[in-house]
Structure 1
Amino acid sequence: MARFPTGRTAFVVIHGIGEQNPFDTLDGFGRGLLELFDRQGINYRLAHKLKRHPEEGWTESFLHISPKNRGKSAIDIHEVYWAYLTEEQITAAEIRQWLEDTLAGVKTFFDENQQLIREYEQADQVEQLQKLNKKLRWGARLYPPVSAALQLLDPLSRLTGGWGEVALKWLGDKASPYLTGYLGDVAIYTTTDRKSKFFNLRQQILRDSLAMLRAVLADEEVERVILCGHSLGSVIAYDTLNRLQIEASLPEAEELPLDKIKGLITFGSPLDKIAFFFRQHAGKEQWLRGQILGQLHSFKSKPLCFNDPPVTFDDPVKHVFADLPWVNYWDRQDPVSGRLNLYRIDPEDNVELKLGKPWGLAHVAYWEHVPMYADFAGRFLGLQATAS
């Protein structure tokens, strides 16, 4: 029988793409951790807590887990809920245009960065990225003409049983929710163009994540904070720490106990794919812009440019999280995830799981995979027993 982890720990968990409701993240992460405790015979008390955040003007609900014997140790689970910000904010047509515009330059990026690929990526992953690019481009191109053709044929189809109307409805029912609910979140969050109407939504998501992390850090009773992100939430978690690192570099930086942040956990993470497909990249001749972008996205990232600039300048960013432990969980049947090779993660911290789910469905199976909780509980909570 294992003992309840000592000390006061707070997990801040960020959900990913798709349809999400408030407290889904608390439920999924909380049940997974409690299942681990049950299997290991850890006795605990569970409570729903409320906390007022006066500066942001809202009241938070979070989970509080404590030992049955009422000791001082405890685990709090906080969620960053952002899905409401992107709900119905982008149309299928806008997503298709975004996809075409984004993917148009990917082949050029691959061609111009063969050294990058040879340096970081294993051959099978490069091939997967290139195949994914082709599939996405074909999908973006085929949807509009197929939809238009069905609409043109619809009057004729009504004379022969209405198959066109049925097919058009099927296409809309199946493809549009996927585009707006999943790709839509990616399209909105990866927008870096300040002129885009989606840029402010991305900034608000980051502000909410930063506000939650700051509030947890400000709690004097909390001794260690672990930031967690699933799917696109892992990208938000990464950007949150990167932004916090930049803010800590400013002369007028707010004094925060950043040493409380003890780790980053990502699962089902597309961070490598985001870096290839959607991050800002500088052209070959833009050696000044390339250095600036590299320094502004430098949290545990490896260089994405191997061209030696004629002049280099000092990095103003204080790398306060350079030694932060980071564990990434992935599964071969999850097309979104993968080993993160573009970031400074030790090989043993890129943990391949066997979720036992079919291709695609594995992406949502992490929440119930108790061995994952056992692994990071051993790393960050000192829990030595293993899940059965």
Structure 2
Amino acid sequence: MARTPRKRAQAPQPIARQAIVVIHGQGEQRPMGTIRDFVHALWQDNPQLDTPGEDHPRPRPIWIVPDDKSGLYELQRITTPEHNGRRSDFFELYYADLLNATPLRNLWRWIRRLLWIDPAYVPPHMRWPWAVFWVLTILTAASALGAILALPQILDTNWYDHFVSEAARRGQVISLVGLVLILAPKFIRPLAMLKRLPRQLLVLLVAIGILDSFGWNGHVANLMVLGWLAYLAGTLLLPYFGDAASYLSAQTETVQSRQGVRNRGLALLKALHEDPEYDRVIVVAHSLGSVLAYDLLHILWREVGPTKDNPPGPEAVAAFAALDTFVAASPRNSWSAEQVATYQALQWRLLDALRTQKGKPGTAELSGWKISDLVTLGSPLSSAEFLITDGRDDFARMKTERVLPTAPPPPYDTTRGAIYPDPQKGPVAHHAAVFSAVRWTNLYDRTESPLFLLGDAISGPLAGAERFGPGINDTKVEITWGRLSWRLFTHNFYWTDTAPKGEPPAGHITAFREAVGLERGVPSTRLPPEAQ
């Protein structure tokens, strides 16, 4: 590619206002329920923003103002006062209502796919969860079959006489004690200290009392197990995995819900992108929300990115060339921490060149790219070949065909990188080059031991040629809480400071704040020597 003449570098424009878009994970989330915790961690109680020698109130002040960009009256924008010359606005991309009505057949189809998937397609870190999934499925089927076969005997037994007999008294007392310990603190204020008792232990006490009341009858025990499994399905399987079934699997029944979720997300990102008040947009996504964020950035890049429909300016072309030069000289399988840092510095320079390409109001001219960072927390994309594609080969093929963007982007051809010369428009980026400009940081807390519930089994690394490219900043954190340093299922603790009161912030909170970088400085426009 011919060298593009570079204009004289201008002083970088400061970032005066930025938007942080928070995308929640799966489950029955309440509007504004997640974003407040994110704002508290990133702004209100963030010591990294403190100016030495000045007093900073805790929590820092915020304002709740009407949100005219999300399209939902249930949502509000949370904005901060100006700090070091920059204001931050927090928006929530809420989509739980669009996936709420998950038909059981969608969930069943997704569960059936996971059960009957070729074991060779199951990645090593998912083999234990997959095995447990099979065990629970077999247990449910056996319990249901036992209940059906025992139905005539259950209906023929006089359970009332047995329940009011003298032999049932001990079990009834045990159950009554458990119920009193659960309900009394709710209605009697002086007994509030009883709330410290583990709720699960009290429920187990009630269950033991019921079994004892019926003489530890096997049929009763089986019905209780079946009821417990049904409760788990209603409170965990449908709300959480139902959302995943509606979004991750492209089926006839899920196309409409997937389209609705993406349309809402694109409307918010476009509104922020077109607003001249914003100089930078950061996307922070948790769990299933990270899959949605990944899709939205790819679609948005195709529509408003520096492709042939919106060609980049000379400064951006030079920054693209610097990226391509660095990528061509680097290995494709894995990078060191220093190489990732260099790549992200080049991405930041490209972002600065693109965001200053302001569109002209009243014309069809598009504005430059403003999204600087994608921060994923507990992302199931680490199991993409298992959850999204049909195995490792299909996953690799979709990356090569630029259906799934990577960081760095796949080359346009054997001689050109993220940019190529269009006959009419000149140098432009291809449609899957979104992670040329967007820095991707991934936080995960996964343990490789069979005790997969220790840590976050849903999360995992995303960097590397076998995943989503070596240019991702993978950050492994270890989330613990309490005096015993508990590690049980930390999937929802990435934005919660679990450090004891009075001690420095927990390591995962510090990593989270650094990944977002609310006050990340404007980069120098000077390009590295190899790109000049």
TM-score (norm. length: structure 1): 0.76
Q: Quick check: 1:327–1:345 contact (8 Å CA) kept in 2?
A: no
SS of match in other structure, 1:364:
coil
Q: 2:518 aligns with which of 362, 369, 381?
A: 381
Deviates more, 1:335-344 or 1:232-241: 335-344
* Structure 1 counterpart of 2:129: 132
Question: Aligned AA for 2:236?
Answer: Y
Q: 2:468 aligns with which of 343, 353, 378?
A: 343
* Structure 2 counterpart of 1:32: 41
Residue pairs, 1:349-368, within 5 angstroms: 349-357=473-481, 358-368=486-496
Q: 1:220 aligns with which of 270, 276, 300?
A: 276
Q: In the TM superposition, what is the alpha-carbon distance from 1:230 to its structure 2 partner?
A: 0.5
Q: Does 1:75 align with 2:88?
A: yes
SS of match in other structure, 1:297:
coil
CA change 1:26–1:255 in 2 (3 A) is farther
Q: 1:237 aligns with which of 293, 296, 299?
A: 293
Q: In the TM superposition, what is the alpha-carbon distance from 1:19 to its structure 2 partner?
A: 2.2
Residue pairs, 1:200-215, within 5 angstroms: 200-215=256-271
SS of match in other structure, 1:211:
helix
Q: Quick check: 2:21–2:93 contact (8 Å CA) kept in 1?
A: yes
* Structure 1 counterpart of 2:225: 167
* Structure 2 counterpart of 1:276: 385
CA change 1:141–1:96 in 2 (3 A) is farther
Distance 1:366 1:374 in 2: 10
* Structure 2 counterpart of 1:192: 250
CA change 1:316–1:7 in 2 (3 A) is closer
* Structure 2 counterpart of 1:46: 62
Q: Quick check: 1:36–1:373 contact (8 Å CA) kept in 2?
A: no
Q: Does 1:263 align with 2:275?
A: no
CA change 1:372–1:261 in 2 (3 A) is farther
Q: Does 1:106 align with 2:118?
A: yes
Question: Aligned AA for 1:278?
Answer: L
Question: Aligned AA for 1:300?
Answer: A
More strand by share: 1
Distance 1:191 1:351 in 2: 28
Distance 2:38 2:369 in 1: 24
Q: Does 1:11 align with 2:20?
A: yes
Distance 1:57 1:170 in 2: 36
Distance 1:378 1:179 in 2: 34
TM-score (norm. length: structure 2): 0.57
CA change 1:106–1:80 in 2 (3 A) is farther
Structure 1: gaps spanning 5 or more residues: 111-125, 304-313
Question: Aligned AA for 1:375?
Answer: A
Question: Aligned AA for 2:226?
Answer: L
SS of match in other structure, 1:139:
helix
CA change 1:377–1:219 in 2 (3 A) is farther
Q: Quick check: 1:17–1:182 contact (8 Å CA) kept in 2?
A: yes
Question: Aligned AA for 2:475?
Answer: V
Q: 2:80 aligns with which of 61, 65, 87?
A: 65
Q: In the TM superposition, what is the alpha-carbon distance from 1:39 to its structure 2 partner?
A: 8.5
CA change 1:251–1:142 in 2 (3 A) is farther
Question: Aligned AA for 1:101?
Answer: R
Distance 1:269 1:283 in 2: 18
Q: Identical aligned pairs, as a percentage?
A: 25
Distance 2:272 2:266 in 1: 10
Q: In the TM superposition, what is the alpha-carbon distance from 1:101 to its structure 2 partner?
A: 2.2
Q: Quick check: 1:191–1:198 contact (8 Å CA) kept in 2?
A: yes
* Structure 2 counterpart of 1:179: 237
Q: In the TM superposition, what is the alpha-carbon distance from 1:150 to its structure 2 partner?
A: 2.3
* Structure 1 counterpart of 2:100: 87
Q: In the TM superposition, what is the alpha-carbon distance from 1:175 to its structure 2 partner?
A: 3.0
Structure 2: gaps spanning 5 or more residues: 1-13, 160-213, 215-219, 311-363, 411-421, 423-428, 447-454, 498-504, 522-532
Distance 2:431 2:49 in 1: 44
SS of match in other structure, 1:188:
helix
Q: In the TM superposition, what is the alpha-carbon distance from 1:227 to its structure 2 partner?
A: 0.5
Question: Aligned AA for 1:381?
Answer: L
Distance 2:134 2:94 in 1: 31
Q: In the TM superposition, what is the alpha-carbon distance from 1:95 to its structure 2 partner?
A: 2.3
Q: In the TM superposition, what is the alpha-carbon distance from 1:36 to its structure 2 partner?
A: 1.2
CA change 1:327–1:228 in 2 (3 A) is same
Distance 1:137 1:300 in 2: 35
Q: In the TM superposition, what is the alpha-carbon distance from 1:146 to its structure 2 partner?
A: 2.4
Distance 1:30 1:324 in 2: 22
Question: Aligned AA for 1:218?
Answer: E
Q: In the TM superposition, what is the alpha-carbon distance from 1:63 to its structure 2 partner?
A: 0.2
Distance 1:299 1:218 in 2: 25
Q: In the TM superposition, what is the alpha-carbon distance from 1:290 to its structure 2 partner?
A: 4.1
User: C-alpha deviations, 1:85-132, integer Å up to 9, x for none?
Assistant: 1224232x652442122442332436xxxxxxxxxxxxxxx4322333
Question: Aligned AA for 1:220?
Answer: P
SS of match in other structure, 2:89:
strand
SS of match in other structure, 1:296:
coil
Q: Quick check: 1:154–1:164 contact (8 Å CA) kept in 2?
A: no
Q: Quick check: 2:284–2:374 contact (8 Å CA) kept in 1?
A: yes
Q: In the TM superposition, what is the alpha-carbon distance from 1:169 to its structure 2 partner?
A: 2.3
SS of match in other structure, 1:177:
helix
Question: Aligned AA for 2:99?
Answer: T
Distance 1:293 1:192 in 2: 20
Distance 1:38 1:317 in 2: 37
Choose 1 or 2 for highest CA Rg. Answer: 2
SS of match in other structure, 1:368:
coil
Distance 1:199 1:229 in 2: 22
